[in-house]
């Protein structure tokens, strides 16, 4: 299952399984309220997922409807050098309006990607990429009940704009799963007891530690092939390297709504300015009074953290998304970007994987507000710090003594 995507249709022609990819400008809604004008394949970025079977002979027609030349590289596939898709090195570029044919036999099962090897900085920054899954010839090998794929990609789209800045190196503002951002990303719906595989590929400019709550799991496949069982180890966060793919597997035995996200906290944010000052600990009232003498409509933000931005209705420029967005059954989730939810449910009808809504927690299993006295032993006394002011309840101030020892035991 390709999150927010689909599988490319094919037809059998003699010995060959034939596919057709069209490289072209596309529009992609990143989440309701924001459209990106990108380049992709067959009307979408990322392109549709190619699925085939180990041993298949594939013939892939690639038509170029872009304003400049392109090629496609079949990342991870073992194939004749001339089918490798590196413009200038292994083939002439595919000029606008032309169609090329790639033919090769799928030597092994696993998870691969496709992307241009022509004007790469521009074409990848514009969203040209897709997944290529090769299933084992023996259906009993590496069998799972649910098999999810998504690509990590990043864009720099200034608020009010539609086209990404292609020369960006690090300062992206849209961190996406399949060019969608939370809350626009499909949840991963599975039935309790399902064996589940999640395949994640990274075609951004940085690594992404993908963290999933509620489970431990093992990497069973990379873009180099299947990992032998004796070479696997348990993880709860898997770093996906740039230009790499990791597939991990687990048995879905714990029901719930489990967060699945990149652990770099800026990557679970949408458009944000990166030159924000830190105002934690500032007296909001005094500061706002002083600022309003200079800037009459000044709005103080972030003096007690920035969580209030998750619920704030701010006037946004056209075509952008709030930094934090998305609500669930208990309130604002305060996330954006690379974030979605694994929904494990009991009692789903066979094959019914539509979004089941929020998890109904069994009574007594949700963290609750404690109204009784807090046992004294949980609060060690704070030692006096001489001339330094003692922190008052609710203050975030912490004083570090000149010898370097803090008072925050």
Question: Is residue 154 involved in binding Cu ion (CB under 5 A)?
Answer: no
Alpha-carbon dihedral angle through residues 284, 285, 291, 295, given to the nearest 10 degrees: 100
| Integer Cα distance of 357 and 183 in angstroms | 14
Question: Is residue 211 involved in binding Cu ion (CB under 5 A)?
Answer: no
- Other Cβ atoms less than 10 A from the Cβ of 313: the count is 6
Question: Is residue 37 involved in binding Cu ion (CB under 5 A)?
Answer: no
- Residue 69 C-beta: closest distance to Cu ion, Å: 31
- Residue 207 C-beta: closest distance to Cu ion, Å: 7
Question: Is residue 266 involved in binding Cu ion (CB under 5 A)?
Answer: no
Residue found by looking up tokens 């496949």 in the block: 221
- Residue 204 C-beta: closest distance to Cu ion, Å: 8
Smaller CB separation from Cu ion, 7 or 206: 206
Question: Is residue 125 involved in binding Cu ion (CB under 5 A)?
Answer: no
Which residues, 6 or more positions from 43, have their beta carbon under 8 angstroms from its beta carbon?
Answer: 24, 26
- Other Cβ atoms less than 10 A from the Cβ of 44: the count is 21
Half-sphere exposure of 270 toward its Cβ, with a 13 Å CA cutoff?
28
Q: Which of 262, 272, 321, 324 binds Cu ion (CB under 5 A)?
A: 262
Which residues, 6 or more positions from 13, have their beta carbon under 8 angstroms from its beta carbon?
Answer: 59
Q: Which of 59, 208, 246, 343 binds Cu ion (CB under 5 A)?
A: 208
Contacts of range 84-91, beta carbons closer than 8 Å, 24 or more positions apart: 84/117, 85/116, 85/117, 86/117, 87/116, 87/117, 87/118, 89/117
Q: Which of 20, 165, 195, 264 binds Cu ion (CB under 5 A)?
A: 264
- Residue 169 C-beta: closest distance to Cu ion, Å: 15
Question: Is residue 267 involved in binding Cu ion (CB under 5 A)?
Answer: yes
Stretch that binds Cu ion, among 116-124, 153-161, 205-213, 276-284 (CB under 5 A): 205-213
Stretch that binds Cu ion, among 32-40, 257-265, 282-290, 392-400 (CB under 5 A): 257-265
**Conformational region of residue 255, where left means phi above 0, alpha means psi within -120 to 50, and beta covers everything else:** beta
Question: Is residue 57 involved in binding Cu ion (CB under 5 A)?
Answer: no
Residue numbers of the site for Cu ion (CB under 5 A)?
208, 262, 264, 267
């Amino acid at each position: 299952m390709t999150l927010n995507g689909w599988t490319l249709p094919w037809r059998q022609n003699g010995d060959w399984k034939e596919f057709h990819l069209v490289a072209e400008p596309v529009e992609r809604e990143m989440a309701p309220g924001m459209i990106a004008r990108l380049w992709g394949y067959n009307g979408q970025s990322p392109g549709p997922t190619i699925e085939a079977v180990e041993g298949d002979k594939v013939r892939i027609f690639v038509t170029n409807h872009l304003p400049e030349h392109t090629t496609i590289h079949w990342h991870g596939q073992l194939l004749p050098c001339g089918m490798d898709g590196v413009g200038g090195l292994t083939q002439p570029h595919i000029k606008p309006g032309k169609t090329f044919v790639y033919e090769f036999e799928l030597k092994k099962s696993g998870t691969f990607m496709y992307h241009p090897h022509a004007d790469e900085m521009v074409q990848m920054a514009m969203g040209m990429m897709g997944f290529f899954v090769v299933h084992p010839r023996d259906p009993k090998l590496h069998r799972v009940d649910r098999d999810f794929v998504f690509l990590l990609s990043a864009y720099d789209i200034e608020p009010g704009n539609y086209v990404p800045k292609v020369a960006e190196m690090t300062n992206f503002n849209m961190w996406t799963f399949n060019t969608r951002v939370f809350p626009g990303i499909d949840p991963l719906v599975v039935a309790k007891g399902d064996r589940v595989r999640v395949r994640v590929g990274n075609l951004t400019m940085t690594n992404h530690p993908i963290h999933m709550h509620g489970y431990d799991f093992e990497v069973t496949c990379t873009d180099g092939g299947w990992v032998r069982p004796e070479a696997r180890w348990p993880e709860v966060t898997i770093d996906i390297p740039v230009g790499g793919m990791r597939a991990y597997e687990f048995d879905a035995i714990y029901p719930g709504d489990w967060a699945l996200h990149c652990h770099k906290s800026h990557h679970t944010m949408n458009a944000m300015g990166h030159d924000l000052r830190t105002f934690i600990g500032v007296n909001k009232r005094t500061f706002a009074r002083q600022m309003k003498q200079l800037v009459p409509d000044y709005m103080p933000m972030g003096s007690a953290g920035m969580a209030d931005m998750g619920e704030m209705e701010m006037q946004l420029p056209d075509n952008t998304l709030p930094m934090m967005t998305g609500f669930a059954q208990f309130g604002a989730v305060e996330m954006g970007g690379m974030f979605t939810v694994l929904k494990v449910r009991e009692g789903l009808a066979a094959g019914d994987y539509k979004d089941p809504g929020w998890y109904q927690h069994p009574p007594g299993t949700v963290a609750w507000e404690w109204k009784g006295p807090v046992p004294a032993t949980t609060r060690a006394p704070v030692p006096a710090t001489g001339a330094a002011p003692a922190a008052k309840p609710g203050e975030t101030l912490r004083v570090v003594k000149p010898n370097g020892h803090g008072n925050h035991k």
